């Protein structure tokens, strides 16, 4: 049975990623890309679906940490007879022509006494279904495992034996000894590559991560949490394209034992502006530029075909299917691969893209001649499209509605388009878009606000609340001190907070066609922090922020949601959206020029 979600840590090479358990077992790894089929899938099933365990045979305790400012993980196991450290990392990838080679290194380092160690490697390609053909390497220094297009090479200084379609070993580690193990992935038709030097790879990996971390300009009181979030965001970036996956996992449930299990190994447009601001305002302009270029390539084409998410290289077809042989995390089924929500209509993404491109221009990213042309086409399409119902930001599967947040983001699209025209002397176009902007604003204030509740509502004509409404002052739709905004924030606090954390909406009476309930959505809880800051309730904001970062696991990682009743992290892990929100809230708390003030500085007139 897999560990609690919060008992995992992330390692990766900015092209793929693995989850390492506190028990020394790697239970999830997709190779060669984030969205490739997993070769370790025990996270969604059992050990027989693939894992790599290195752990003491006898009873033990474990503590772990990341080596400072890196993604190199160190787990220290202590037994009655001694102690050793297990160091896990993935070196930056080697690209030599078509030989795309990725390595995963595990170092067993003796600290004290002598400890008996168990080694168990179960390789199962294609999400735990394909048993590979295993052969010993000619030099007897390891084995080769092949299944279809994939080959994994295992190199070990200790003898490895086959046992019941597993590879096992037992050995003693004494103080002062270092025993390295390396897993290498490559295409199966290529010649076996030479071995890397594991110790040299560790030093090189540490140096590269520390050089990257040193670029950060954040030195506020929450530096450790912010820097870990930035490293996590970098780790979730697909280096060849600049796309950032929402999470490296699929089907970790939003409710333990439930069916809200989605594949998050793709890139969502809803994250675009906050991602850009988080990177730019912490000094990572190169990453921000790569993300913007990915956005431009992904959404290129006809505006009416723009999707809410894309693959890491901009792929559009992400067909959703279920994996019947995997029982799911703690029995939460079905396990889903692909994401059918990619075909949904979500009008908010038009505003998100327009805002991201506008903020990139304000942040002095390099000028790109295609940016303005794309903005013009998107805005032209939205001139009529904004009136249509859609599925909304949360990808509900219960039919289209006139979601208030979607209309607000349509307003954002026209607002940023008008601002972009300032000083360009295109008065006729600016006037037309300004009229539409004002029309949308009036429409939202008329149909999206409920006087009885003294709050904006999730959808026109309804009474339900929605945490996305916390974005209204953050994007500049209305000032934070507007009575309707104050009423909305108060209503969210009364009706959507559970044990001090914010739900997306009231899933106890959901109309999206799925069984009710989910955890508190962490990004939304950070949005409440941002609202409290804008309302000059800084002490209350800081208190909530401290509670939120207190949910990070022992190595600083956050999932998508938190279950207050079970006191467990839930949802896909680690979640980029949660870490992006953490970064932005920290900036909002510590800087006058912050993401919230940058987006909200030119608020619309009251209507």
CA-CA-CA-CA torsion for 374, 380, 384, 385, nearest 10 degrees?
Answer: 0
Residue 510 pLDDT > 90, yes or no? no
Q: Does position 373 have pLDDT exceeding 90, yes or no?
A: no
Identify which of 269, 253, 248 has the alpha carbon closest to the alpha carbon of residue 574.
248
Domain 5-190+204-212 has CATH 1.25.40: no
Residue 414 in contact with residue 389, Cβ under 8 Å?
A: no
Per-residue pLDDT tens over the stretch 13-49: 999 999 999 999 999 999 999 999 999 999 999 999 9
Q: How far is CA 142 from CA 107, 160, 161, in A?
A: 16, 7, 10
Give me the long-range contacts of 211-215 (CB less than 8 A, separation at least 24): 213/69, 213/70, 214/69, 215/283, 215/284
Answer for the pair 33, 100: CB distance below 8 angstroms, yes or no: no
Domain definitions of the chain by residue range: 5-190+204-212, 223-600
Query: Tokens 């010993």 correspond to what residue?
Result: 136
Name the residue with higher pLDDT: 235 or 429: 235
Select the CATH number that applies to the domain covering 223-600 from these four: 1.10.357.10, 1.50.10.10, 3.40.250.10, 3.40.50.300: 1.50.10.10
- The pLDDT value recorded for residue 530 is 97
Please choose, from the candidates 330, 402, 395, 600, the residue with its C-alpha nearest in 3D space to the C-alpha of residue 485: 600
The 10s digit of each residue's pLDDT in 149-190 is 999 999 999 999 999 999 999 999 999 999 999 999 999 999
Mean pLDDT over 512-518 rounds to 58
Q: Which residue has the tokens 């619309």?
A: 604
The answer to whether residue 568 scores a pLDDT higher than 80 is: yes
The pLDDT score that the predictor gives to residue 421 is 86
* Mean pLDDT over the full length of the chain: 93
Say what the pTM is: 0.96
User: Residue 426 — pLDDT band, cuts 50, 70, 90?
Assistant: confident
Question: Can you give the pLDDT at residue 96?
Answer: 62
Q: Output the CA–CA distances (angstroms, integers) from residue 367 to 416, 419, 524, in the order listed.
A: 17, 16, 32
Mean pLDDT is lowest, of 92-101, 196-205, 439-448, for 92-101
Check residue 97 and give its pLDDT. 57
Q: Which residues contact 344 (CB under 8 A, 6 or more apart)?
A: 308, 390, 391, 395
Place of tokens 């993604």: 71
Q: How confident is the model at residue 119 (pLDDT cuts 50, 70, 90)?
A: very high
Q: Considering only residues 95 and 54, tell me which one the structure prediction assigns the higher pLDDT.
A: 54
**Cα–Cα distance list, 205 to 54, 84, 105 (Å):** 21, 21, 11
Give the pLDDT score at 68.
97
| Burial letters 315-345, b for 16+ CB under 10 A, else e | beebeeeebeebbbbeebbebbbbbebbebb
Domains 5-190+204-212 and 223-600 share a fold: no
């Amino acid at each position: 049975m897999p560990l609690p979600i919060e008992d995992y840590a992330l390692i990766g090479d900015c092209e793929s990623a693995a989850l390492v358990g506190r028990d020394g077992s790697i239970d999830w790894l997709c190779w060669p890309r984030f969205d490739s089929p997993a070769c370790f899938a025990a996270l969604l099933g059992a050990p027989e679906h693939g894992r790599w365990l290195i752990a003491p045979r006898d009873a033990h305790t474990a503590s772990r940490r990341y080596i400072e400012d890196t993604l190199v993980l160190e787990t220290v196991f202590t037994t009655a007879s001694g102690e050793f450290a297990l160091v896990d990392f993935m070196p930056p990838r080697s690209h030599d022509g078509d030989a795309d080679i990725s390595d995963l290194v595990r170092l067993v380092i003796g600290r004290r006494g002598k400890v008996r160690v168990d080694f168990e490697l179960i390789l199962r390609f294609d999400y735990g279904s394909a048993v590979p053909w295993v052969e010993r390497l000619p030099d007897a220094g390891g084995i080769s495992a092949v299944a279809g297009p994939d080959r994994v090479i295992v190199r070990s200084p200790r003898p490895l034996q086959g046992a019941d379609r597993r590879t096992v070993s037992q050995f003693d580690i004494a103080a002062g000894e270092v025993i390295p193990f390396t897993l290498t992935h490559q295409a199966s038709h290529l010649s076996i590559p030479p071995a890397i030097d594991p110790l040299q790879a560790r030093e090189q990996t540490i140096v590269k991560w520390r050089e990257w971390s040193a670029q950060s300009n954040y030195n506020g009181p929450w530096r450790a949490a912010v820097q870990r979030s930035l490293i996590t965001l970098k780790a979730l970036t697909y280096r060849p394209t600049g796309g950032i996956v929402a999470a490296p996992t699929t089907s970790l449930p939003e409710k333990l034992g439930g069916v809200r299990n989605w594949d998050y190994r793709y890139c969502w447009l809803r994250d675009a502006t906050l991602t850009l601001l988080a990177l730019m305002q912490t000094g990572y302009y190169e990453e921000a530029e790569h993300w913007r270029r990915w956005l431009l390539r992904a959404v290129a084409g006809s505006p009416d075909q723009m999707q809410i998410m894309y693959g890491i290289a901009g792929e559009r077809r992400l067909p959703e299917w279920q994996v019947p042989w995997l029982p799911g995390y703690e029995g939460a089924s079905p396990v889903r691969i692909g994401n059918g929500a990619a075909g949904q209509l979500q009008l908010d993404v038009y505003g998100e893209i327009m805002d991201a491109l506008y903020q990139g221009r304000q942040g002095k990213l390099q000028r790109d001649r295609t940016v303005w042309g794309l903005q013009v086409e998107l805005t032209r399409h939205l001139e009529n499209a904004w009136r249509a119902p859609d599925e909304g930001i949360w990808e509900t599967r219960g039919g289209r509605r006139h979601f208030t947040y979607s209309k607000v983001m349509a307003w954002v699209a026209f607002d940023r388009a008008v601002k972009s025209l300032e000083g360009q002397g295109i008065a006729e176009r600016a006037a037309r878009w300004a009229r539409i902007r004002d029309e949308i604003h009036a429409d939202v204030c008329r149909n999206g606000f409920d006087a009885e509740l003294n709050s904006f509502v999730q959808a026109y004509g309804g009474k339900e609340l929605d945490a996305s409404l916390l974005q209204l002052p953050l994007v500049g739709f209305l000032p934070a001190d507007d009575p309707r905004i104050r009423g909305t924030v108060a209503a969210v606090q009364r009706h959507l907070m559970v044990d001090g954390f914010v739900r997306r909406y009231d899933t106890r009476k959901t109309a999206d066609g799925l069984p009710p309930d989910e955890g508190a959505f962490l990004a939304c809880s950070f949005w409440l922090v941002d609202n409290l800051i804008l309302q000059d309730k800084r002490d209350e904001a800081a208190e909530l922020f401290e509670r939120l970062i207190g949910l990070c696991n022992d190595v600083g990682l956050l999932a998508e949601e938190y279950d207050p009743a079970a006191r467990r992290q839930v949802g896909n892990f680690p979640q980029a959206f949660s870490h992006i929100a953490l970064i932005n809230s920290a900036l909002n708390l510590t800087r006058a020029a912050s993401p919230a003030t940058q987006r909200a500085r030119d608020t619309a007139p009251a209507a």
